[in-house]
Amino acid sequence: MLKFNKFLQENESKRTRAVKRATEEANQRRVKESEIIKLEEQLASREKEEAAMRQQLQQHEKYRYFLQQVVEGEESEYHEVREEDQCQCRELRVDVSIFYW
């Protein structure tokens, strides 16, 4: 009879440990699933932000191109004017460096 009682006690303790372990694993799984949902929401939000920024960048790209064309077109004219200023200033004996930083 003692052996049978010991056997029953061991089985009960094994069952208790198994139930406790299953409960802990279920809790861990719920935590991980909620973490996954949270991270998926963050990813979706960031992807949406990225798409908006790409669209804004695309809209601003035309302005950058326009300004680049203006600068490139004005560079040659600016140098010509500057050279003319230098010639006139030499004639008047004025130091040109005070006009340009």
Consecutive 10-residue averages of pLDDT for the chain (101 residues): 88 95 97 98 98 94 87 64 57 53 46
CA 77 to CA 75: how far, in whole Å? 5
Is pTM, for the whole model, over 0.75? no
> What is the reported pLDDT for 57?
93
Q: Kindly list the distances between the CA atom of residue 96 and the CA atoms of 72, 81, 99, in Å, as whole numbers in the listed order.
A: 24, 13, 6
Token code pair at residue 80 = 């010509």
